[in-house]
Structure 1
Amino acid sequence: MHEETPRWARPAFWGVLALAAVLYAWELGRNGQANEYYAAAVYSGTQSWKAFFFGALDAGSYITVDKPPLALWVMGLSARIFGFGPWSMLLPQAAAGVASVAVVHSAVRRSLTGAHARTAALIAALVMTLTPITVAITRDNNPDAILVLLLVTAAWLCLEAVRTGRLAALLAAAVFVGLAFNAKMLQAYLAVPALGLAYLCVARGGLARRVRHLLAAGAVLVVSSVWWVVLVDRWPASSRPYIGGSTDNSVWNLVVGYNGLGRIAERAETARGLPGFEGLRGFGGFGGTPGAGRLFNATMAGQISWLLPLAALLLVAGLVLAGRRSAVQGALVLWGCWLVVHFAVFSFSRGTFHPYYTTAMAPAVAALVGVGGVLVWRACQHSRFWIWVAAAGVGGTGAWSSAVLRRTPDFVPWLSWAVAGAAAVAVLGLIMRPRLVFGVRVRARRRLGAVTALATAFCCLAGPAAYALTPLISPVRGGDPTAGPRAGSWGGQWGMFRGQAQPSALARSMPWMRRGGLAQPMIGYLERNQGGATWLVAVASAHTASSAILSTGRPVMAMGGFSGRDPAMTVGKLEEYASTGNLRYVLVGDATGPRVTGRGGRGGLSPELTGWITAHGTPVHPSEYGYASGGTLYRIG
């Protein structure tokens, strides 16, 4: 029999989606090009289909970005249709965020029955919408928003396969994980144990049947993951871009190394190029020191940790309360395993780690709070034990939220006390409610229930909501977007990575102010003298190249890729580019961006390259373009 939808359910659902749309898309244009590294690749893809397919940083297709191109394709198609700009590039990201909220809502709703299903789904959708790091990264052009949408779609399909036992749904889930691999490589596979365990433990049919289905899904996953990898690696290296981030111009090397073990294992070379971190091993990137407490430290706590303890408690409680081999058990196994795997990898990985990676945890946290919260609430109607469990969860969440807010006392200073007060009201309401039984106290019981529910919602969501609003006020730019006040240990010289600082009015008024990582007069000189060369200039790293690409609209060669250390350029290649006239100028020793000195040369160039340039090139005197930049410009062709 078809269940009747409560009158409040649809308006509430559309209200949450509207809230998500506002948080993710309000004044996106103020974010400019967001992460210029990916923005340059999106722009280059609008100028060249070759650059589009390979995900090249420049329209001349010299080197790719350090990720597969699926997310760039989404943004690039939008930019080709509507013209390149902040809105055309970033709006698909915002749309992906809203769609992810809708998919999580549907997945949770279909895992339960009755009016409680709608309640759980609404809670999950609201929690995911208000996750601060999700708001920040969805307003950015990193691939994570597309990654999350593909993975939650895979989870939805897997839960359908668990519920119905249909192989087709499981195979479709594998396809979407494969697509997610082509957005961010091995991070997509962190969801695979959750999908596999849920189907193996809970799906219909015998064990042998479930194992056969999983093997078939594994084969589909491999094919849908590696088709682009195989095609690119079989493409003649002489007629495609160098694979950025790899050490041997191979996508396989990029998958296993830079975007694989390099994100988990110690990478001393990552730290050696950064000021103040020379020789330091296992520094953990920009999210703090590896360990069980990483996601609760000063940098990470306000991004994802607000409801993590509550989600863990509700996972255990939900598994106790759920029926065996039921749809709700499948949901708890899937989202619980998803959360545990991501928590372990993100907490203990000793390679490069950025706070925005944790947006992949948001669907699991949201689903567990929704499903587990409803199960515990139902159990509270019949057992005092579960009342105390609920009170512990709400009280603990309120206490942790208040503690996180007190770390930044200048940020909405009254909110931490309001959260603590709401938590106290909610706990008292939960404990007192069973004492108000039938008869004359029915009305009081209902009123207390409403007050308790409102206090619970406030103490759980007020902190994340306050942080989630900040990206609407402050532009989200740079390579490491976050939400909330600028707390933690990454100020000072690291402000450039936070992407929040803007040039002062004085700096903007100076005629020698750098544009695109290069001085404006130098840019003008290069544009006047490029001639028939493919590239405007060659520079050491993508930090300078991407900015110059966006400011000039012309291809700029990043000889050393993202960090300036990729072995993409050789003396032989440089000689060929110079002799054919495809490259006329090289900038040596440019000091913009993070100081990465690569293999011992100047500005990221190897001694061999620097030696060839200085021996065969002609220095351009600064008087020819009116300003002495941080490096030396050589004419080589």
Structure 2
Amino acid sequence: MATTQDRRDHRRPFTRDRHCQTAFDHWELPALLLILGVAAVLYAWGIDRAAIHPYYGAAVRSMAASWHAFAFGGLDPSGSVTVDKIPGALWPQALCVRCFGPHNWAVALPQVVEGVLAVWALHRIVRAWAGAPAGLLAALVLTLTPITVALDRHTIPDTLLVLLLVLAAGSLQRAVSTDRLLPLLACGAWVGLAFQAKMLQAWLVLPVFAVVYQLAASGPRLHRIGRLLLAGCTTLAVSCSWLLLVWVTPAAHRPYLDGTTNNSPFTLVFGYNGLSRFGHDQQALGAVAGTAASRSTGNTGWTMLVNQTVGPQIAWFLPLAVLALVLGLLWRAGQPRTDRLRTGLLLWGGWLVVHAVVFSASNGNHGYYTAVLAPALAALTGGGLALFWREYRDGGPRRAALPAGVALTVLWAAAIDGPHGGSAPWLLPVVLMLGLCGAVGLWSRGPRTTRRALCGALAASLASVLLAPAVWAAACLDPLYGGSSISPLAGPVGAGYHDMRHHPSRVQRNALNAPSARDSALLHYLAAHHSRERYLLATQAAYGAEPLLRATPQPMLVMGGFTGLTPHPTAPQLTALVSAHQLRYALLTTRRPSIPATVWVKRHCTRIPPRAYGRTSDGSFTLYDCAPGS
């Protein structure tokens, strides 16, 4: 039988002492504003020098210049071919560039806003679940997670994915606690919008959400199942809205879908960006060949979350979160099915476990993929510390959980930071000293322990837990430690860090509207010889088009798409374009594979001497003139 204390805990999870209520209310809002301010500074500092993803940056410039390209995700303003993903995450960036002009800060601003909103939303959700202190701790942990900072300072879709999934979790929590249908439908809509940002990855939370609602919501079982079906239909409808728009649009009136051999939106999502990531079939459902090889990153297997590259990005709070999850579920055993404490633990714990399993089983992952784990780790850390503190103050054998959690987290921080200690040799000794003082101070509490000593031990414990990830997060303010534009990572790890350290002159920030001298010369030559053709240029794959599309909103025909293997345009289509005087020049590269269209260019077009367009040699690029009789 549940005790009176258990029933009170069920009604008011992680409650504060009544005499602390008034004092806490005075500093809760300033503390939240301070956390949000720190997040804004970490994410926005140096925004005018933000690292723009070369491929997405080119698409954003094109989508900002043409509503047709905007709607379908065209890589160039004419919409010859799409980007190789659903363009939902690029829409906010394109709108910002359309409003404010082609500036780096305009592309990066939506990422900053999305990151700060995610911190605010997580605070509200965890506060409603676990109390105000837990909400503030969760917001602070999310703010200081290194990969969150690195990602929010770049222009990659995962930032919007994280925000939308956090909002979905909040709607689910309201649906469970209020027994209303509308929040559950809103949860489905948020997941559907997240699908527009990152496709199938957004659906990973659906099994967790369904299980949590079925286990914890009130009402008869069939009633809960019916509501879940309605929410699932909402998710499916919102998720597939862009796919259906593309599917019903005649192929002649929209761009060719990159990554596909059959120009199908379902192949783009479920083949190229779906099944090909989990097997060796490089042509799943009609996807182009070579996709698995092009995504190999080395971050795979069951140790990926704790390897020397990914571990410092996300894993600092992993032991504390797991400890909170396990102990919380054990301590809440025997409570009613609708117990709110257990519901939150299942929600965030399920989120963490499902993503960790999927990432470990996939072919390979960029380190920044793990940013989606940050809200779950932050919620479990904030809620877990609040739970441990309450049990600590109540006394009994459970009081050991708080100092044990602090000691475990500090030792784990030493294991993560140890291989990289040369970049900040002072960090590890300070963390260990604070952790020792905090854990010993908490463990040795007795009847004569003063309030000041207890507060000091608690402050030292929190500082020891937060200091190491905070230092790695703040390191992103230095471009040397922010990762590359295509793979943001925090700290002295990854290819971007090593390239910038050893070859700083090779690192490019991929700015909009700021072509290099070489690209400017090429654009000047093309503009001077342009004779009202539809396309300024045809390029072999996106590799050659990216810097030019970031510099100018001129239509360009991207042959082969992102990988260079997409079968568009065909050789007959290219012949027709040249014959109709819609295309004259083609730029080929030795760094991408040939397709029939590029073979046709080599056979029928005339090579232009490099000096004619400002280069001393061909290098990896060769410009051809395809005009009849050239």
Partner residue, 1:391: 403
Q: How does 1:18-33 map to 2 (within 5 A)?
A: 18-31=37-50
- Partner Cα separation in structure 1 for residue 470 and residue 581 of structure 2: 55
Identity of aligned residues (%): 39
Change (3 A) 1:424 1:247: farther
CA distance in 1, matches of 2:156, 2:433: 38
Q: 1:167: how far off?
A: 0.8
Q: Which amino acid aligns with 1:163?
A: S
- The one-letter code matched in structure 2 to 1:308 is L
| Cα deviation code 1:446-498 (max 9, x no counterpart) | 2232122122212211111111112212166521111112x357776xx49x9
> Shift in Å at residue 77 of structure 1?
1.4
Q: Partner of 2:25: helix, strand, or coil?
A: coil
Find the residue that maps to 1:484 and give its secondary structure.
Answer: coil
Q: Extract unaligned runs of 5+ from structure 2.
A: 1-11, 13-17, 285-289
AA partner of residue 329 (structure 1) = R
Question: Relative to 1, partners in 2 of residues 1:262 and 1:556: Cα closer, same or farther, differing over 3 Å?
Answer: same
**Do the aligned partners of 2:518 and 2:614 also contact (CA within 8 Å) in 1?**
no
Corresponding residue number in structure 2 for 1:605: 594
The answer to whether residue 342 in structure 2 is matched with residue 329 in structure 1 is yes
Paired residue for 1:59, among 73, 77, 80?
Answer: 77
Q: Which residue of the other structure, out of 486, 505, 518, is the alignment partner of 1:503?
A: 505
Q: Does 1:105 align with 2:93?
A: no
Cα distance in 2 for residues equivalent to 1:334 and 1:491: 36
Decide whether the 8 Å contact of 1:586 with 1:634 is kept in 2: yes
Going from structure 1 to structure 2, the CA distance change for 1:243 and 1:283 (only over 3 Å counts) comes to: closer
Correspondence 1:348 to 2:348: no
The SS at the match of 2:345 is helix
2:584 & 2:70 partners in 1: Cα distance?
25
Pick closer, same or farther for the CA change 1:391–1:244 going to 2, 3 Å. Answer: same
- Partner of 1:605, secondary structure, is coil
Whole-angstrom distance in 2 between the partners of 1:490 and 1:469: 17
1:243 equivalent in alignment to 2:243:
no
SS of 1:169's equivalent?
Answer: helix
Aligned residue-pair number: 592
Q: Are residues 303 and 457 of structure 1, via their aligned partners in 2, closer, same or farther at CA, if it must alter by over 3 Å?
A: same
2:490 maps to a residue whose letter is A
Distance 1:414 1:92, change over 3 A: same
CA distances 1:132-176 after superposition (whole Å, capped 9, x unpaired) = 111111111111111111111111000000101111100011001
Q: 1:43 to 1:303 in 2, by over 3 A?
A: same
Match of 1:600 in 2: none
Q: 1:88 aligns with which of 106, 109, 115?
A: 106
Q: Find the aligned partners of 2:601 and 2:485 in 1 and give their Cα distance.
A: 31
Q: Say which SS state the counterpart of residue 624 (structure 2) adopts.
A: strand
SS of alignment partner, residue 6 of structure 1: helix
Q: Secondary structure at the match of 1:148?
A: helix
The match for 1:304 is 314
| Structure-to-structure mapping, 1:565-580, within 5 angstroms | 565-580=565-580
Instruction: Report the Cα offset of residue 515 of structure 1.
Output: 5.1
Write out per-residue CA displacement over residues 402-451 of structure 1, whole angstroms, 9 at most, x where no aligned residue.
Answer: 22222112211110111112222222122101xx21xxx2xx43223212
- Measure the CA separation in 1 of the matches of 2:150 and 2:457: 31
Q: Which residue of 27, 30, 33 maps to 1:14?
A: 33
Three-state SS of the structure 2 residue aligned to 1:410 is helix
Matched, 1:152 2:166: yes
Matched position secondary structure for 2:420 = coil
2:434 alignment partner in structure 1:
422
Partner of 1:285: 296
- Name the CA shift for 1:612/1:19 in 2 (closer, same or farther; >3 Å): same
Q: Judging changes above 3 Å, is the alpha-carbon distance between structure 1 residues 165 and 243 closer, same or farther for their aligned structure 2 residues? A: same
Assess if the C-alpha contact under 8 Å between 2:122 and 2:139 holds in 1.
yes
Q: 1:489–1:360: structure 2 CA closer, same or farther, 3 Å change rule?
A: same
**C-alpha RMSD of the superposition:** 2.7
- Of the structure 1 ranges 412-421 and 317-326, higher mean CA displacement relative to structure 2 is found in 317-326
1:619 aligns to what? 607
Q: CA deviation at 1:27?
A: 1.5
* 1:632 alignment counterpart: 622
Are the aligned partners of 1:147 and 1:188 in contact in 2 as well (CA < 8 Å)? yes
Q: Which moved more, 1:90-99 or 1:555-564?
A: 555-564
How far 1:228 moved relative to its partner?
Answer: 1.0
Aligned residue identity for 2:48: G
TM-score (norm 2): 0.89
Match of 1:210 in 2: 224
- Kept after mapping to 2: 8 A contact 1:538/1:558: yes
In the alignment, which residue of structure 2 is the partner of 1:599?
A: none
- Counterpart secondary structure, 1:306: helix
2:287 is aligned to none
Q: Deviations over 1:82-106 (max 9, x none)?
A: 2221122211110110000011000
SS in 2 for 1:407: helix
Give the CA deviation at 1:282.
8.2
One-letter amino acid of the structure 2 residue matched with residue 604 of structure 1: P
Structure-2 separation of matches of 1:309 and 1:182:
32
Aligned to 2:3: none
C-alpha spacing 1:289/1:12, structure 2 compared with 1 (3 Å): closer
Aligned residue number for residue 452 of structure 1: 457
Structure 2 counterpart of 1:468, one-letter code: A
State the Cα distance separating 1:524 from its structure 2 match: 2.6
Shift of 1:316: 1.1
Query: 1:162 and 1:501, CA in 2 relative to 1: closer, same or farther beyond 3 A?
Result: farther
Alignment map for 1:534-573 (pairs within 5 Å): 534-573=534-573
TM-score (norm: length of structure 1): 0.88
